[in-house]
Amino acid sequence: MSKLASVKVGVLGLGTVGCGTLDVLARNADEISRRAGRSIEVVAAAARDLSKPRAFDCSEISLTDDPYALVADSRIDIVVELIGGTEPARELVLAALANGKHVVTANKALIALHGNEIFAAAHAQGVTVAFEAAVAGGIPVIKTLREGLAGNTVQSLAGIINGTCNYMMTAMKDRAANFDEVLVEAQELGYAEADPSFDIDGVDAAHKLTILAAIAFGVPLQFENIYVEGIRDIALDDVRYAEALGYSIKHLAIAANDSSGVQLRVHPTLIPARHMLANVNGVMNAVLIRGDAVGQMMLSGAGAGAEPTASSVVADLVDVVRALTTDPGNRVPHLAFQPDALSQAPVCPMADVESAYYLRMDARDQPGVLADIARILASHEISIEAIRQQEPAAAAVTVPVVILTQRVREQAMQLAIAEMTALADIHGDIVRYRMETFA
Amino acid sequence: MSKLASVKVGVLGLGTVGCGTLDVLARNADEISRRAGRSIEVVAAAARDLSKPRAFDCSEISLTDDPYALVADSRIDIVVELIGGTEPARELVLAALANGKHVVTANKALIALHGNEIFAAAHAQGVTVAFEAAVAGGIPVIKTLREGLAGNTVQSLAGIINGTCNYMMTAMKDRAANFDEVLVEAQELGYAEADPSFDIDGVDAAHKLTILAAIAFGVPLQFENIYVEGIRDIALDDVRYAEALGYSIKHLAIAANDSSGVQLRVHPTLIPARHMLANVNGVMNAVLIRGDAVGQMMLSGAGAGAEPTASSVVADLVDVVRALTTDPGNRVPHLAFQPDALSQAPVCPMADVESAYYLRMDARDQPGVLADIARILASHEISIEAIRQQEPAAAAVTVPVVILTQRVREQAMQLAIAEMTALADIHGDIVRYRMETFA
């Protein structure tokens, strides 16, 4: 493995996402080359102000303040465009493509508004433009629609694809706060810009929907045809009335395709409060997809931020590297990693696995039993999270006692269970289930 | 487009999934060739009993009861293995590979137990074995882990990946039913086999976890190292006690990778009732993945059934066809569909979009107002789902009235809103939001 020369990457833009991408590439260099069969090396980066302090140590990379020099750099195989906006991003991407370089971009406005021109240029050069990070941050929704659901006629999709709006709608509902209060808070937390209109008026969601609809239905990119309403006018009263009726108001991007044509719309929408989509909260994103074969499926996760966006940027880089490197029959290794790069990590015996526990035991209803149990648990350094005596069955001499514990190694729990089972006041076996919070 | 000859496929097994796959391939033939750049043609299928009636009309396909003849058929480029079990599936897949054919399979036991041998054989021949349908039915979790999250160090995953167990745990909780009752019911509904042990004892989930862990962490397939507990002994009491404490019991497959090694375990687990994973109900599947860059993400959808499984089988076919057909720089079209195959479907004007509505208006609190509103809505054939008068603000002359309507064309709603706004007893503008159930 990795006898091939590394693939050389140049990065346009060293802001949050740029530095996040450099960090992920450096931190996961081993995992990435185990997967891609080659290492990925960032040789150059361009930023407007080179004197600015960065979140990533760029001393190993040649830096330039001339992005046009970077896209012409003959060492570079793949240009990663992370400057955002339409110009000069468009011009730089077209220049990179004209120079025969593949492009990876996180720029939704660029793809939504100039994708047709950019893809035609890439096609003419036989190179790729990859843009997973342009929609829903770290969630691989573009790959899912383009490849994972390629057998379906996609019927509709509905997405929470703007984290700012979702944060604000969640905060209004959970804390009965006004739009204006929540906006100030979102700005303080960095979830909304000083001029928030791009997010809260739905433009950003419409850019992303433009891309998703094209990929789902095989229709052209057509931002101009999207109906858009933002969240600026949503009154707290409506959030409350909707809640009382069993609904949540979410800012959704919706596309559908049926015999009457394609629907493309972004607007606040009431959805049943128990629906999975209604429970995607805060800055999280989610996309619900309905295909004729798969039925309904949903993807959810972080829709923005340096690391989740970098996750998709790097996945695109690996995709390009795999396509360049391997024969078509083995583009992606069967088990994700190159066959000669499997790790022989030891398997942790269950005795060493840590977990919280639920225990249930039948105890004689008399003084001292709980003290005995607590003493045994404490002697194995097991902390009790909750203990609850349940209603006994009629005429039973015992009562069920349920205990939730904090996290502990399984071995300690097994020893404690054996000791508790041996108590004269505990009848029968002790039931135990493991407990996880996935927080 | 599609000037290339079709790719020829042979199908082993004409059971539920086999017929579902033929149906999806036929029904979505246009979408598939628009995406893949070539059509996919099933030329032969093998089944044990050719006289059996089928859910799909196979009269255009040459049928055989000799699967060994099919895997040797020189017309065939890709063999789809849908017979399940380890033998003769293993022998047939190895024979297909030896004959230089790509293989697509939905067989988790085969991959979990014999994947290493099969992948080595494929590698030696320069052909692909694709197996998205082996885990979580229609959910593209293998593609997500192998490609979409290729930039991450995957830290852990937790899946509801056996629909039978999840159906039963959901039913026990929702209806306070005993395990034995629920099992009989699951068998009647076809969700559990006559001999249910493969599902309810966790073997099926362990096969799937074997595959997911290998792909997530780059470790070998190692079914033998998975710790497995099933759901056979779960008492309704524990389901109820857990619920009272704010938890749901789910049958989870969990894998984690940290400095202490790899954890591989399948067992009932208490998780917080409000967690997204706890709200994956019935036969639905879901996989929660934690990566160091992406954070936590979740995929959910149908984990079994003819159509969802066929969705993944056909996606794998398209993947193979794309790899065979296109130059590496353009393996997947930028917008999923071939550039010359975009549809010019018309965009539906908002006036023609159908939606349910939430309306709020300030009405003078006197007799006849609601009758006027109801009359106007009825005259536009808008059915009222709910109407609720809210508490008026102190000293207000109006009360807020909230109305939920059934689905109606937007144009009719706009006309009705204009008429209601013109009523003397309605003050100010009428607030309206669209409402969707995504049922």
Quick: pLDDT tens for A67-117: 999 999 999 999 999 999 999 999 999 999 999 999 999 999 999 999 999
Chain B contacts of A123, Cβ < 8 Å?
Answer: 330, 334, 339
Q: For residue A326, which phi and psi values (nearest 5 degrees)? A: -105, 160
Same domain as A278, residue A158 = yes
How far apart CA B158 and CA A285 sit, in angstroms, is: 20
Active-site position among A101, A108, A173, A208: A208
A162 falls within a domain: yes
Same domain as B212, residue B164 = yes
* pLDDT for position A239: 96
Average pLDDT of the residues of chain B: 94
* CB-based contact A438 B271, cutoff 8 Å: yes
Q: What is the DSSP string of A91-144?
A: HHHHHHHHTT-EEEE--HHHHHHHHHHHHHHHHHHT--EE-GGGSSTTS-HHHI
- A374: exposed, middle or buried (C-beta count within 10 Å: 0-12, 13-18, 19+)? middle
pLDDT in tens, B364-380: 988 889 999 999 999 99
> Which of B341, B367, B388 is a domain's end point?
B341
Q: Looking at A78-82, A135-139, B62-66, B326-330, which range is the least confident one?
A: B326-330
A216 falls within a domain: yes
Whether A350 shows a pLDDT value over 90: the answer reads: yes
pLDDT band for B283, please (50, 70, 90 cuts). Answer: very high
Nearest by CB to residue A353, choosing from B263, B329, B339, is: B263
* pLDDT for position A1: 46
Chain A contacts of B275, Cβ < 8 Å?
Answer: 437-438
Same domain as B185, residue B130 = no
* pLDDT for position B251: 98
Q: For residue B31, which phi and psi values (nearest 5 degrees)? A: -55, -40
Nearest by CB to residue B348, choosing from A262, A297, A307, is: A262
In chain A, whose CA is at the least distance from the CA of B36? Answer: A150
In chain B, whose CA is at the least distance from the CA of A125? Answer: B329
How far apart CA A412 and CA A382 sit, in angstroms, is: 8
Same domain as B30, residue B125 = yes
* CB-based contact B297 A302, cutoff 8 Å: yes
A2 falls within a domain: no
CATH of the domain at B29: 3.40.50.720
* DSSP symbol at A147: I
Question: What is the distance in angstroms between the Cα of B144 and the nearest Cα belonging to chain A?
Answer: 7
Question: What is the distance in angstroms between the Cα of A424 and the nearest Cα belonging to chain B?
Answer: 23
Nearest by CB to residue B128, choosing from A32, A257, A329, is: A329
Total domain count for chain B?
3
* CB-based contact B254 A288, cutoff 8 Å: no
pTM to 2 decimal places: 0.94
Nearest by CB to residue B140, choosing from A148, A247, A271, is: A148
* pLDDT for position A423: 96
* CB-based contact B302 A296, cutoff 8 Å: yes
* pLDDT for position B392: 84
Same domain as A258, residue A384 = no
CB pairs under 8 A between A and B: 439
Domain housing B322: 7-137+307-341
* CB-based contact A358 B402, cutoff 8 Å: no
Evaluate whether A6 touches A65 at the Cβ level (below 8 Å).
no
Chain A contacts of B220, Cβ < 8 Å?
Answer: 342, 344
Give the residue among A59, A211, A38 at the shortest CA–CA distance from A141: A211
B2 falls within a domain: no
The β-bridge relationship of strands B261-272 and B295-302 is unpaired
Q: What is the 3-state secondary structure (H, E, C) of A203-263?
A: HHHHHHHHHHHHHHHCCCCCHHHCEECCCCCCCHHHHHHHHHCCEEEEEEEEEEEECCEEE
* CB-based contact B437 A271, cutoff 8 Å: yes
pLDDT band for A367, please (50, 70, 90 cuts). Answer: confident
The pLDDT of A121-137, averaged and rounded, is 95
In chain A, whose CA is at the least distance from the CA of B328? Answer: A323
| Selected residue of B149, B153, B237 to mutate for chain A interface (largest A Cβ count, 10 A) | B149
pLDDT band for A328, please (50, 70, 90 cuts). Answer: low
* CB-based contact B358 A144, cutoff 8 Å: no
Express as a percent the part of chain B with pLDDT over 90.
85
CA A222 to chain centre: 26
* pLDDT for position B142: 97
A350-361 burial code (b ≥16 CB/10 A, e <16): beebbbbbbbbb
Nearest by CB to residue B218, choosing from A25, A227, A343, is: A343
Peptide bond just before A400 cis, omega within 30 deg: no
Dihedral sign, CA of B184, B190, B195, B198?
Answer: negative
pLDDT band for B2, please (50, 70, 90 cuts). Answer: very low
Just list the catalytic residues of B.
208
Chain B contacts of A396, Cβ < 8 Å?
Answer: none
Same domain as B198, residue B49 = no
* CB-based contact B269 A435, cutoff 8 Å: yes
- B235: CB partners within 8 A, 6+ apart: A431, B179
- B258: exposed, middle or buried (C-beta count within 10 Å: 0-12, 13-18, 19+)? exposed
Residue with tokens 């020189």: B74
Rounded to the nearest 10 degrees, the angle between the axes of helix B236-244 and helix B163-175 is 70
* CB-based contact B151 A310, cutoff 8 Å: yes
Same domain as B101, residue B162 = no
- B98: CB partners within 8 A, 6+ apart: B121, B125
Q: Looking at A129-143, A381-395, A415-429, B142-156, which range is the least confident one?
A: A381-395
pLDDT band for B1, please (50, 70, 90 cuts). Answer: very low
* CB-based contact A295 B302, cutoff 8 Å: yes
A421 falls within a domain: yes
* CB-based contact B431 A288, cutoff 8 Å: no
* pLDDT for position A329: 62
B74 falls within a domain: yes
Structure tokens at B433: 């939001």
Q: Which amino acid is at B428?
A: G
Q: Where are the alpha helices (DSSP H) in B336-396?
A: 369-379
Structure tokens at A307: 């690391």
Nearest by CB to residue A330, choosing from B25, B126, B386, is: B126
B1 falls within a domain: no
* pLDDT for position B328: 61
How far apart CA B22 and CA B13 sit, in angstroms, is: 11
In chain B, whose CA is at the least distance from the CA of A123? Answer: B330
Question: What is the distance in angstroms between the Cα of A136 and the nearest Cα belonging to chain B?
Answer: 11
Whether B55 shows a pLDDT value over 90: the answer reads: no
* CB-based contact A343 B297, cutoff 8 Å: no
Dihedral sign, CA of A364, A370, A371, A373?
Answer: positive
Chain A contacts of B165, Cβ < 8 Å?
Answer: none
pLDDT band for B329, please (50, 70, 90 cuts). Answer: low
Average pLDDT of the residues of chain A: 94
* CB-based contact B261 A150, cutoff 8 Å: no
Beta pairing partners, B301: B285
Same domain as A292, residue A227 = yes
Same domain as B59, residue B166 = no
pLDDT: which is higher, B323 or B7:
B7
How far apart CA B347 and CA A226 sit, in angstroms, is: 9
Whether B134 shows a pLDDT value over 50: the answer reads: yes
* CB-based contact A32 B115, cutoff 8 Å: no
CATH of the domain at B391: 3.30.70.260
Chain B contacts of A214, Cβ < 8 Å?
Answer: 335-336
Q: Looking at A19-23, B100-104, B277-281, B388-392, which range is the least confident one?
A: B388-392
Chain A contacts of B314, Cβ < 8 Å?
Answer: 150-152, 293
Q: Looking at A96-105, A196-205, A218-227, B318-327, which range is the least confident one?
A: B318-327
Within 10 angstroms of residue A73's Cβ, the number of other Cβ atoms is: 18
> Which of B321, B341, B361 is a domain's end point?
B341
Same domain as B374, residue B325 = no
Chain A contacts of B351, Cβ < 8 Å?
Answer: none
Evaluate whether A8 touches A75 at the Cβ level (below 8 Å).
yes
Q: What is the 3-state secondary structure (H, E, C) of B321-338?
A: HHHHHCCHHHCCCCCCCC
A261 falls within a domain: yes
Chain B contacts of A29, Cβ < 8 Å?
Answer: none
Nearest by CB to residue B257, choosing from A245, A263, A345, is: A345
Nearest by CB to residue A295, choosing from B260, B263, B301, is: B301
Dihedral sign, CA of A37, A43, A48, A49?
Answer: positive
Same domain as A145, residue A94 = no
CATH of the domain at A233: 3.30.360.10
Within 10 angstroms of residue A164's Cβ, the number of other Cβ atoms is: 24
pLDDT in tens, A1-24: 446 889 999 999 999 999 999 999
Whether B326 shows a pLDDT value over 80: the answer reads: no
Same domain as A161, residue A91 = no
